[in-house]
Amino acid sequence: MRYTNGFFPTLKEIPQEAEIASHQLMIRAGYIQKLSSGLYTYLPLGLRVIQKVQNIIREELGRCGAIELLMPILQPREIWERSGRYTLMGELMMKCKNREQKEFILAPTHEEIVTDIVSRRVNSYKQLPLNFYQIQTKFRDELRPRFGVVRAKEFIMKDGYSFDADQEGADKTYLDMYKAYERIFKRCGLKAVPVRADTGVMGGNESHEFMVLAASGEDGIAICKGCGYAANTELAERIPASREGGKEMPGAMSEVHTPELRSVDELAAFFKTDPHKFIKTMIYTAGGDPVAVLCRGDVDINEVKLKRALNTQDVALADPVTIERATGAPVGFAGPVGLKIRMIADLSIHGITNAVTGANKKDTHVVNVNMPRDFKAPEFADIGVVKAGDECVKCQGTLDVQRGVEVGQVFKLGTKYSITLDATYLDKNGEKKPAVMGCYGIGVSRTVAAIIEQNNDENGIVWPMAIAPYEVAVLPISMKDEALVSAAMGLYNALQKLGIEAVIDDREESAGIKFKDADLIGFPVKVILGPKSFKEGNVEIKMRKDGKSTIVPCEEAALKVRDLVNQEKLYV
């Protein structure tokens, strides 16, 4: 590509709307253009990168026998009602009507459709297993799109769905996909870690997310330094780190006047003690009934875990009226002592001596509270948010908590959709059985952002060779020097013939501008033709990654570049 024929709209300044590196760089380097919140155009450079990721996905999925198809984005409402997900998805799903007032949705995912295909076209165990995938635009009416293409309303996703005759087959497919994902992300130049994950509205029984570690990530990941256990903080099991110092003798429980003091921080300052001496008591409603949820003052409640512990999705902090009715006190003064409603406690309150907690009386707390002397031991469960320093349940090692961007997720779905949508087959004995399903997603556009998040420096993007929109930039420094320009063109043509993806910067611009733009866009290799070295018949080959450069005779440059490019690409 000649630079003057292409479209490389770079920006010198950081766009005001972009917060994180990948978003800023994608805009500045001319990869994306925002149309509206959460809606982006992939400019030619951006599209090339997307296609690179897609091709890696196609190759790796093809290797495990997955087959590509393409399903409609616009889907009738009824099929979503049949699966029960029309209301479950709620506002997340884009809805619209056609001229006949028939209702449609824009697909956020495709389980319903793919299952429908199987229900219509698959009858026998002889046709199984099947593993379909597509790469396509998805719509989700996000409450808050953010970070550019990391969380957009319209985004590109690879979604795959497998159908096996039995659980054993489904487990094997799951493992195949898991391994394929590891290869895909590795080839994308990403350090992605698989972590155990919640299944959310997808349902199913087992799931892993592939997380790219990045400070700007939206998800928390707990990782055990000892055994490698890794899980999304939504469900990461942990043993809360002990905060007890020396042994204390239980003191006499007594009430203390604490006017207008509600938060643990305020109270800790008032009592001149640490947050871990408090038993925090929050009143929730679960399935309509009030429940007191207890945890140590330095711990937060994880509502995903709480829902699981209470075995209901309908869990929320109670409103002030409910709290007053349940505890006899306004918000901020609840405690376990004398409380009549159901209580569930996080493991962290085990072994607290002489705790401070609410007295269930306005402007009053009690001190020197001890369990079970002062209140009956409640139900216990791991319902706290995991924190760095907590213990691993597998090996008692220490857990670390990091941030990550979720680039992929794999689910074992079981038979949830095959039963409701009738994806059944006849087995050897003529018996009708539901297919055992799995589903597998990769956020393609988000993966591109994640790659940039992990591969950039102060000058711009540093693409892994396999993902770069072009592998090489040929930079003639002086456009006045005809011999130099024609040598640059010759080199560019030679690279093309060798199958190398190259751009020649044929603009009448100064050297500085060409260097800055090339580095911002992120070409892995620069071939620089400067007047001085060119006079001696030499050109410079400079790597974006580490800035290392080599001087080679002009006529050897093309082959040398090809070797460098191929060497970088063949690392998997």
For residue 4, state whether it binds RNA (rule: CB under 7 A): no
Ranges assigned E (strand) in 70-167: 74-76, 94-97, 103-106, 130-139, 154-164
Distance CA(153)–CA(167), nearest Å, equals 35
Residues 76-105 that bind RNA (CB under 7 A): 92
Residue 140, CA atoms < 13 Å, CB-side half-sphere: 19
Q: Where does this chain touch RNA (CB under 7 A) — which range of 7-15, 57-65, 465-473, 563-571?
A: 7-15
CB 539 within 8 A of CB 550: no
Q: How far is the CB of 353 from RNA (least distance, A)?
A: 31
For residue 522, state whether it binds RNA (rule: CB under 7 A): no
- 480, 497, 535, 563: residue in contact with RNA (rule CB under 7 A): 480
Q: Where does this chain touch RNA (CB under 7 A) — which range of 290-298, 375-383, 430-438, 440-448?
A: 440-448
Given the DSSP bridges, would you call strands 289-296 and 342-346 parallel, antiparallel or unpaired?
A: parallel
Q: How far is the CB of 18 from RNA (least distance, A)?
A: 7
For residue 510, state whether it binds RNA (rule: CB under 7 A): yes
Given the DSSP bridges, would you call strands 525-529 and 538-543 parallel, antiparallel or unpaired?
A: antiparallel
- Please state at what angle helix 444-454 crosses helix 21-28, rounded to 10 degrees: 100
Distance CA(354)–CA(370), nearest Å, equals 6
Identity of the residue numbered 226: G
Distance CA(540)–CA(192), nearest Å, equals 34
Residues 6+ apart with CB under 8 A from 158: 54, 57, 61, 133, 134, 135, 441, 442, 444
Helices (H) and strands (E) in the chain, counts: 15, 31
For residue 200, state whether it binds RNA (rule: CB under 7 A): yes
Residues 330-369 that bind RNA (CB under 7 A): none
Of 236 and 528, CB closest to RNA? 528
- 30, 46, 108, 384: residue in contact with RNA (rule CB under 7 A): 108
- 179, 530, 560, 566: residue in contact with RNA (rule CB under 7 A): 530
Residues 539-558 that bind RNA (CB under 7 A): 540, 542, 549
346 φ, ψ (degrees, to nearest 5): -75, 150
For residue 517, state whether it binds RNA (rule: CB under 7 A): yes
* Other residues' Cβ atoms within 10 Å of the Cβ of residue 121: 10
- Total count of residues recorded for the chain: 572
For residue 263, state whether it binds RNA (rule: CB under 7 A): no
Q: How far is the CB of 307 from RNA (least distance, A)?
A: 9
For residue 519, state whether it binds RNA (rule: CB under 7 A): yes
CB 85 within 8 A of CB 201: yes
Nearest to 509 by CA among 1, 8, 46: 8
For residue 442, state whether it binds RNA (rule: CB under 7 A): yes
For residue 196, state whether it binds RNA (rule: CB under 7 A): no
For residue 483, state whether it binds RNA (rule: CB under 7 A): no
Nearest to 468 by CA among 211, 189, 192, 210: 189
Of 189 and 441, CB closest to RNA? 441
- 408, 414, 464, 469: residue in contact with RNA (rule CB under 7 A): 408
Integer angstrom CA distances of residue 59 from 54, 63, 65, 158? 9, 6, 10, 13
Q: Where does this chain touch RNA (CB under 7 A) — which range of 33-41, 272-280, 339-347, 553-561?
A: 33-41
Token readout for 412 is 């074992």
Q: Is 549 helix (H, G, I), strand (E, B) or coil?
A: strand
- 59, 78, 168, 218: residue in contact with RNA (rule CB under 7 A): 218
- 5, 12, 246, 546: residue in contact with RNA (rule CB under 7 A): 12
Q: Where does this chain touch RNA (CB under 7 A) — which range of 172-180, 417-425, 495-503, 512-520?
A: 512-520
Q: How far is the CB of 305 from RNA (least distance, A)?
A: 12
Query: What are the b/e assignments for 320-340, b being 16+ CB within 10 Å?
Result: eeebbebbbbebbbbbbbebe
- 82, 95, 146, 433: residue in contact with RNA (rule CB under 7 A): 146
Residues 162-181 that bind RNA (CB under 7 A): none
For residue 314, state whether it binds RNA (rule: CB under 7 A): no
The footprint of RNA on this chain (CB under 7 A) covers a number of residues equal to 68
Q: Give the chain's end-to-end CA distance (angstroms, integer).
A: 28
Token readout for 164 is 């096996």
Q: Where does this chain touch RNA (CB under 7 A) — which range of 35-43, 122-130, 268-276, 373-381?
A: 35-43
Of 190 and 337, CB closest to RNA? 190
Q: How far is the CB of 89 from RNA (least distance, A)?
A: 8
Token readout for 133 is 């995938």
Q: How far is the CB of 405 from RNA (least distance, A)?
A: 11
481 φ, ψ (degrees, to nearest 5): -85, 100
Of 124 and 313, CB closest to RNA? 313
- 246, 288, 430, 512: residue in contact with RNA (rule CB under 7 A): 512
Q: Where does this chain touch RNA (CB under 7 A) — which range of 13-21, 59-67, 182-190, 462-470?
A: 13-21
Of 103 and 509, CB closest to RNA? 509
Which spans of this chain sit near RNA (rule: CB under 7 A)?
10-17, 19, 34, 36-38, 92, 108-109, 138, 140, 142-147, 151, 157, 159, 198, 200-202, 218-219, 303, 408-409, 439, 441-443, 459, 477-480, 508-513, 515-520, 526, 528-534, 540, 542, 549
